[in-house]
Amino acid sequence: MLKLYIGNKNYSSWSMRPWVLLKQANISFKEIKIRFDSFEPGSTFKNTINTLTPTGKVPVLINDACDDLVVWDTLAIAEYVAEQFPDKQLWPIEQAARARARSLCAEMHVGFTHLRGNCPMNIEASLPEIGALIWRDKPEVRADVARLVAMWQELLHQHGGPLLFGKFSIADAYFAPLCMRLKTYALPVPADITDYINHLCALPSVKTWIDEALAEKDFLDFEEPYRLNR
């Protein structure tokens, strides 16, 4: 059986990607949540995750049918799952589209740092006033959003939507946390991008993740740069 170790659903954008991927593809797995209490050495979170992976981070995928094989890093997990379940066609079928999807996921993996840094994922929060200030004062965030919009518009036009490559793929799972950020901070995007975000959020896997994030009701001050309480 596959076991996926994740953090808090409200905050852990990295955990969201493989969870949504597995759930939307109807791949059976056991979810194991390690609640964030602190990221300091000696915390319960660090003590637990350090027994699983040398990185000390979530997500972690373990396949106990393969001698407890441990796979960490979201892109490695996505590639492993795609190899293990080729019938699910998690990458686009056409070679050029598949290469493009991999390139975009790699860009997501290391890019959009200003958007991610200034707008941490917080699904239960509604922070349009903070978003307006960030939009006004952070040209780097505006540049990240402009790149995101251009990328998504090109793909939606080329593949006809409603998802980036027509039907659900690893790319949609990968960009789901950025959709959460755009919603939480109400950052301005064109209508076609709003339609894509709404369609993605209506997918059963994403909707379930959002619902379960809202049910956590866990306020962690070190994850909350903009709120003093819930």
Residue 5: predicted pLDDT: 98
* Residue keyed to tokens 């597995």: 22
Residue 210: predicted pLDDT: 98
Residue 53: predicted pLDDT: 95
Residue 26: predicted pLDDT: 98
Question: How far is 217 from 20, CA to CA, in rounded Å?
Answer: 20
Residue spans of beta strands (DSSP E) within the chain:
2-6, 30-33, 60-63, 69-72
Overall fold of domain 2-88: Glutaredoxin (3.40.30)
End-to-end CA distance of the chain: 37
pLDDT along the chain (230 residues), means of 10: 97 98 98 96 96 96 93 97 98 98 95 97 98 98 98 98 98 98 98 98 98 97 96
HEC string for the chain:
CEEEEECCCCCCHHHHHHHHHHHHCCCCCEEEECCCCCCCCCCHHHHHHCCCCCCCCCCEEEECCCCCEEEECHHHHHHHHHHHCHHHCCCCCCHHHHHHHHHHHHHHHHCCHHHHHHCCCCCCCCCHHHHHHHHHHCHHHHHHHHHHHHHHHHHHHHHCCCECEEECCHHHHHHHHHHHHHHHCCCCCCHHHHHHHHHHHHCHHHHHHHHHHHHHCCCCHHHCCCCCCC
Nearest to 164 by CA among 64, 90, 111: 90
Residue 113: predicted pLDDT: 97
What's the whole-model pTM score?
0.97
Residue range 37-65, pLDDT digits in tens: 999 999 999 999 999 999 999 999 999 98
* Residue keyed to tokens 């109807």: 26
Nearest to 30 by CA among 64, 58, 55: 64
For the record, the structure tokens of 71 come out as 């796979």
What's the CATH number for 95-215?
Answer: 1.20.1050.10
**Residue range(s) in the chain whose domain bears CATH number 1.20.1050.10:** 95-215
**Total number of residues shown for the chain:** 230
Bond from prior residue into 59 cis (ω within 30 degrees of 0) = yes
Contact status, residue 119 vs residue 181, Cβ threshold 8 Å: yes
Contact status, residue 69 vs residue 137, Cβ threshold 8 Å: no
**Residue range(s) in the chain whose domain bears CATH number 3.40.30.10:** 2-88
